[in-house]
Amino acid sequence: RFAAVIFDLDGVITDTARYHYLAWKRLAESQGVHFDEAFNEHLKGIDRMGSLELILASATRRYSDAEKLALATEKNEHYKELIATMTPSDLLPGAVAALDDCRAAGLKIGLASVSRNAFTVLDRLGITGKFDYVVDAGTIAKGKPDPEIFLKAARELRVTPDACFGVEDAVAGVSSIKAAGMYAVGVGDPQVLAAADIVIPDLTQFRLEQYK
């Protein structure tokens, strides 16, 4: 029934969600803001400036736009150091098999990540060529949970949203998929990703024939 699949990147295909966590934690703590896994859950899938705003909402003072830009840049420089040493061995188990199963089934394959580092990460993982279309996060006006990014991927893949399914690890990402009118496969905790149509613990459990 599906003509296309649209994958998220961070936390689905590779464990960059961990690197985003580490980089935000250091940044938050440098500003005296307590940062833990539970708070980080709210940041997954949220774009860079949006994430910073959520962190600074807990700070004891206000920040100018110039200060915010400097902090976002500092976080990104740290994140870039963390991803610089990535190799294809950093693909999560089941990721390549899932992409190859979709390809074998004749699906078009898109990537919808709000990360401005997505092209670099795909390149380091050696899987750029497995996608028919990768959204350039720099062209997106509204990040997840807005449906814009998944709708853009569908449009560029020349398929209607109802013929697509999305694969996401973030609450905001699942909301984005559902708001786009697509079927959502959550990757992670079923209680956290309750809005998804189906939840699998990781991509080793990806079963195309079960999604309808």
Q: Which residues are catalytic?
A: 8, 10
d(CA 125, CA 147): 27
Measured on CA atoms in the order 7, 13, 14, 18, is the torsion positive or negative? positive
Question: Bridge-partner residues for 6, per DSSP?
Answer: 110, 166
* Residue closer to ligand BG6 (CB basis): 120 or 205: 120
Site string for Mg ion, 163-202 (x = CB under 5 A): ------xx--------------------------------
* Residue closer to ligand BG6 (CB basis): 136 or 210: 136
* Residue 191 structure tokens: 């209680």
By the rule CB under 6 A, 25 interacts with ligand BG6? no
By the rule CB under 6 A, 168 interacts with ligand BG6? no
By the rule CB under 5 A, 47 interacts with Mg ion? no
Comparing C-alpha atoms, which of 155, 150, 152 is closest to residue 165? 150
By the rule CB under 5 A, 11 interacts with Mg ion? yes
What count of other Cβ atoms lies within 10 Å of the Cβ of residue 137? 18
Residues that bind Mg ion (CB under 5 A): 8, 10-11, 113, 169-170
